[in-house]
C-alpha cells in the first residue's frame, strides 16, 4: 500500500519511495544515454571534427550543471527538480515557467529519441525507409514506454537498470577497442561547416547538449528516491561523469572509423562504425540491437520525467489539477503519462510529414526548452550563495560554489544563443504559450498577485495528491543567520510538519 500523509482532514496517498542509488543512477545514465548518442555523430558530421571540441566544451558545462543540481537537491530533496528550485528562489510564476518549459522538453525530447530509435530498428526492418512505416515504429516505441510506466515505479526502476547495463556494452567497446581502428583520413576538414570556428563550435554545441539532457533526472524524481539528500547528488554527478567519458571517446571513434562523407548520411553511425572495424554486418547488428534497447530504456526514463515534473507543479496549483492525481498502489500519475505521450506522438507525426532533418529539428527545440530550466536552476543556486552562502560555507567552498554556479549560468546562456534564431523564435513562442495557462490557473484559484487566499476546494480535496514538495517560501531577504530560507506559504493545503524543510543550509551543501 502507498504511504499516506495528512492533507487537512483527508488522507492522501504518497508515492512509494522505491528508487535506491543504483536505480537513481540508472535513471540518470539511462535518461542521458538514449538513442541521441547513437545518432549524434551523423548530426555533428556537417561541422567536421571541430564538433569534438564543442563536445568537450559541452561536457564541462554539463558537469557544472550536474554539480549545481547536486547542491540544490541537498537543500530541497523533493520531486520537481528545476521547477522546485526556481519556485523557491524566484516565486510561483518562475516556477510555473520552468515546469512548463521542462515538460515541453520531456515530451518533445521523447519524440526525438523515438525518431533516432527508428533509425536502428530499420537496420532490421523497413530497410527502404518508407515514411509511414518509420512513423508507425516511432509511435510504437513511445507507447511501449508509456505502458511500462503505467505498471509502477518499481518496474520502471528495474527496467531502467537492465537496459542501462545492456546499452553500455557496445558504447564501452567503441570507446576503447574502436579507438584502435581510427584512420585520420576519415575525419575530413577540421571545420566543414563554412562558418567561423567559434560559430561552428557554438552551433555544434547546441546539438551536442541534447546528449546530456536528463542529467537532472534524479532531482526531478527526488521524492521517489531513498535518502534523496545523499543519493540524488551522487547519482547526478557520478552518472554525468560516466556518460561524459563514454560520449567523448565513443564519438571520436565513430568519426575516425566512418568516412566524413558517409557519416553525414548515415542513420545508424555506430552500426556503420562497428561494421567498418570488423567487416561484414554482424558487429553492426549487435550495436543496433543495443541501440534499440538503449532507446526503449531512455523512453522509459523520460516518460517518467514527463509525468513527474507537472505532477510536482500541479500539487502546488501551478499545473492543471489532473496532473496531480495518482492511481494504483504505487501512485502512478496516469494523466501525465498519457497526455505527454499523446503530445509526443503528435509532434512525431508532424515532424515526419513536414521536416526532412527530423531529428535535428526536434533536438534543437528540446535543447532550448531544457536550457531555460537549467538557467533558472543555476541562477537559483547563485542567488542562494550570494544571499545565504556566507552564513554557512567556508570562504574556500563559497568561492568554488559561486564559480561553478556562474559557469553553469554562462553555459546556459551560450547554449541558447547557439541554438539559432529560428529555434529561439519557436522556443520562445512555445514557452510564452504557457502564460495564458498560468492566468487560467490563477483565475480558478481566485488569487491575484501575492494575496493570501485559501486553496480552492478542488485542490484540497484531491485524495490522490501526495505532499512531497516543499511549500513555496516568501521571498528571500538579507537578515540574521538562519538554517532555513523562507517559510511555509499560506496558500499551501498541507501542514508544514508534513513536508521536508526547504533549503536546509549546511556546510555540506555542495557535492564534493
Residues 92 and 316: their CA atoms lie apart, in Å, by 9
Of residues 99 and 354, more confidently modeled: 99
C-alpha cell read off for 156: 520502471
Q: Mention every residue, 6+ apart, whose C-beta is less than 8 A from residue 46.
A: 192, 193, 264
Per-residue pLDDT, 362: 72
As a whole number of angstroms, the distance between CA 44 and CA 50 comes to 9
Q: What is the pLDDT of residues 482-512, one digit of tens each?
A: 333 333 343 434 433 344 444 344 444 444 3
Report the distance separating Cα 107 and Cα 407, nearest Å: 28
**Residue 410 burial by Cβ neighbours in a 10 Å radius (0-12, 13-18, 19+):** middle
- Three cell numbers written together for 425: 523564435
Q: Which of 196-205, 242-251, 472-481 has the lowest mean pLDDT?
A: 472-481
Residue 473 predicted with pLDDT over 70: no
Percent of the chain with pLDDT over 90: 19
Give residues with Cβ within 8 angstroms of 354, minimum separation 6: none
Residue 26 pLDDT > 90, yes or no? no
* More confidently predicted of 274 and 482: 274
Query: Above pLDDT 70, what percent of the chain?
Result: 81
Q: Where are the beta strands (DSSP E) in 280-373?
A: none
Mean pLDDT to the nearest integer, 162-178: 81
With a cut of 70, say whether residue 436 has pLDDT above it: yes
Backbone angles phi, psi at 403, to 5 degrees: -65, -45
Beta-ladder partners of 10: 7
Name which residue leads in pLDDT, 215 or 480: 215
Mean pLDDT across the stretch 291-300?
85
CA distance 374 to 475: 21
DSSP classification of residue 227: S
**Mean pLDDT confidence for 201-223:** 83
- pLDDT at position 95, please? 92
Q: Answer yes or no: are the C-beta atoms of 296 and 138 closer than 8 Å.
A: no
Read off the pLDDT of residues 70-96 as tens digits, 9 standing for 90 and up.
Answer: 889 888 887 788 999 999 899 999 999
Rounded to an integer, the average pLDDT of 99-116 is 86
3-state secondary structure 108-169: HHHHHHHHHHHHHHCCCCCCCCCHHHHHHHHHHHHHHHHHHHCCCHHHHHHHHHHHHHHHHH
The reported pLDDT for the residue numbered 97 is 93
The CA angle 266-272-278, to the nearest 5 degrees, is 170
Say what the pLDDT of residue 352 is: 78
Give the torsion through C-alpha atoms of 63, 66, 68, 70, to 10 deg: -140
In angstroms, the CA 153 to CA 80 distance is: 16
Short-list 82, 497, 35, CA closest to 292: 35
Predicted pLDDT of residue 178: 87
Query: pLDDT-based confidence at 6, cuts 50/70/90?
Result: very low
Query: What pTM, to 2 d.p., does this model score?
Result: 0.74
Q: What's the confidence (pLDDT) of residue 144?
A: 92
pLDDT band for 16, please (50, 70, 90 cuts): low
Could you identify the residue written with the cell 541554438?
A: 419
Q: Report the pLDDT value the prediction gives residue 10, as an integer from 0 to 100.
A: 37
CB 295 within 8 A of CB 124: no
The pLDDT of 396-408, averaged and rounded, is 93
More confident residue, 465 or 353: 353
Which of 204, 203, 137 lies closest to 352 in space, CA to CA? 137
Ranked by mean pLDDT, the top range of 31-40, 254-263, 274-283, 360-369 is 254-263
Least confident of 32-41, 243-252, 374-383: 32-41
Q: Which of 212-216, 273-277, 327-331 has the lowest mean pLDDT?
A: 327-331
Distant-in-sequence, close-in-space partners of 369: CB < 8 Å, separation ≥ 6: 101, 102, 104, 105, 108, 427, 430, 431
Locate 98 and state its grid cell.
Answer: 520552468
Weakest mean pLDDT among 17-21, 172-176, 237-241, 412-416: 17-21
| Alpha carbon distance 122, 35 (integer Å) | 13
Residue 12 has pLDDT above 50, yes or no: no
| Phi–psi pair at 146, nearest 5 degrees | -65, -40
pLDDT for residue 459: 40
Predicted pLDDT at 18: 67
Determine phi and psi for 19, rounding to 5 degrees.
-105, 115
Amino acid at each position: 500500500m502507498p504511504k499516506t500523509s495528512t492533507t487537512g482532514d483527508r488522507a492522501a496517498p504518497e508515492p512509494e519511495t522505491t528508487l535506491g542509488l543504483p536505480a537513481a543512477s540508472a535513471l540518470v545514465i539511462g535518461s542521458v544515454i538514449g538513442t541521441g548518442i547513437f545518432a549524434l555523430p551523423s548530426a555533428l558530421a556537417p561541422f567536421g571534427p571541430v564538433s569534438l571540441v564543442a563536445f568537450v566544451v559541452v561536457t564541462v558545462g554539463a558537469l557544472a550543471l550536474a554539480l549545481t543540481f547536486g547542491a540544490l537537491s541537498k537543500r530541497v530533496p523533493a520531486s520537481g527538480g528545476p521547477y522546485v528550485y526556481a519556485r523557491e528562489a524566484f516565486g510561483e510564476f518562475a516556477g510555473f515557467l520552468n515546469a512548463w518549459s521542462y515538460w515541453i522538453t520531456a515530451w518533445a525530447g521523447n519524440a526525438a529519441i523515438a525518431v533516432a530509435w527508428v533509425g536502428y530498428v530499420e537496420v532490421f526492418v523497413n530497410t527502404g525507409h518508407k515514411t509511414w512505416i518509420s512513423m508507425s515504429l516511432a509511435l510504437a516505441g513511445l507507447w511501449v514506454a508509456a505502458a511500462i510506466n503505467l505498471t509502477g515505479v518499481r518496474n520502471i526502476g528495474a527496467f531502467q537498470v537492465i537496459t542501462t547495463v545492456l546499452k553500455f556494452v557496445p558504447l564501452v567497446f567503441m570507446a576503447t577497442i574502436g579507438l584502435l581502428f581510427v584512420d585520420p583520413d576519415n575525419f575530413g576538414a577540421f571545420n566543414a561547416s563554412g562558418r567561423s570556428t567559434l560559430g561552428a563550435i557554438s552551433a555544434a554545441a547546441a546539438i551536442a547538449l541534447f546528449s546530456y539532457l536528463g542529467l537532472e533526472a534524479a532531482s526531478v524524481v527526488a521524492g521517489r528516491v531513498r535518502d534523496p539528500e545523499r543519493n540524488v547528488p551522487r547519482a547526478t554527478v557520478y552518472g554525468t561523469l560516466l556518460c561524459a567519458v563514454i560520449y567523448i571517446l565513443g564519438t571520436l571513434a565513430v568519426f575516425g572509423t566512418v568516412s566524413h562523407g558517409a557519416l553525414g548520411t548515415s542513420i545508424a553511425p555506430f552500426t556503420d562504425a562497428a561494421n567498418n572495424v570488423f567487416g561484414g554486418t554482424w558487429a553492426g547488428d549487435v550495436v543496433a540491437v543495443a541501440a534499440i534497447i538503449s532507446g526503449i530504456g531512455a523512453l522509459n526514463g523520460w516518460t517518467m520525467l514527463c509525468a513527474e515534473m507537472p505532477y510536482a507543479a500541479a500539487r502546488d496549483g501551478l499545473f492543471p489539477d489532473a496532473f496531480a492525481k495518482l492511481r494504483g498502489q504505487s501512485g502512478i500519475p496516469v494523466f501525465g503519462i498519457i497526455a505527454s505521450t499523446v503530445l509526443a506522438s503528435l509532434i512525431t507525426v508532424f515532424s515526419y510529414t513536414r521536416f526532412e532533418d527530423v531529428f535535428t529539428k526536434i533536438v534543437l527545440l528540446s535543447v532550448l526548452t531544457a536550457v531555460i530550466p537549467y538557467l533558472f536552476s543555476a541562477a537559483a543556486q547563485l542567488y542562494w550563495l550570494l544571499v545565504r552562502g556566507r552564513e554557512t560555507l567556508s570562504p574556500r567552498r563559497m568561492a568554488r560554489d559561486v564559480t561553478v554556479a556562474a559557469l553553469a549560468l554562462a553555459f546556459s546562456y551560450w547554449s541558447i544563443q547557439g541554438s539559432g534564431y529560428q529555434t529561439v523564435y519557436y522556443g520562445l513562442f512555445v514557452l510564452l504559450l504557457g502564460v495564458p495557462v498560468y492566468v487560467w490557473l490563477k483565475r480558478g484559484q481566485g488569487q491575484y498577485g501575492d494575496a493570501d487566499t485559501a486553496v480552492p476546494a478542488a485542490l484540497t480535496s484531491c485524495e490522490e495528491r501526495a505532499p512531497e514538495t516543499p511549500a513555496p517560501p516568501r521571498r528571500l531577504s538579507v537578515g540574521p543567520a538562519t538554517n532555513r530560507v523562507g517559510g511555509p506559504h499560506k496558500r499551501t493545503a498541507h501542514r508544514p510538519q508534513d513536508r521536508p524543510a526547504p533549503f536546509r543550509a549546511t556546510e555540506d551543501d555542495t557535492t564534493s
